[in-house]
Amino acid sequence: MDSQICALAERVARLEKSNRAMKVIFAVMVLAVVATTSTPRLLARTVKKMASLDAGTITAQQIILVDGTGHTVAWLGSGGNSAGCAGRK
């Protein structure tokens, strides 16, 4: 009777080990499927957004850069007939 219990305990241990391995394999397969199916869509969306950004034109008479406190750091613009730019003073 003890030998049968020992044999069953060993079999249960093997099955549990096999079950853990199957769970790991399944998780890796699910991650692989998700990665291969979502990456091309994500890449296509990103490229489409980047292409739409390149299509625009920005027109300005003056560009002023300010820091976090609101102080002017630099400006780029034209005053009358001449162009000018300045850095931080």
DSSP 39-52: HHHHHHHHHHHHHH
The whole model's pTM is what?
0.40
Reported residue count of the chain is 89
pLDDT of residue 80: 60
Boundaries of every domain in the chain: 1-56, 58-89
- pLDDT tens digit sequence for 9-58: 899 999 999 998 899 999 899 888 877 777 777 777 777 776 666 556 66
**Run of H or E residues at 10:** helix 2-54
Phi/psi of residue 76, each to 5°? -135, 125
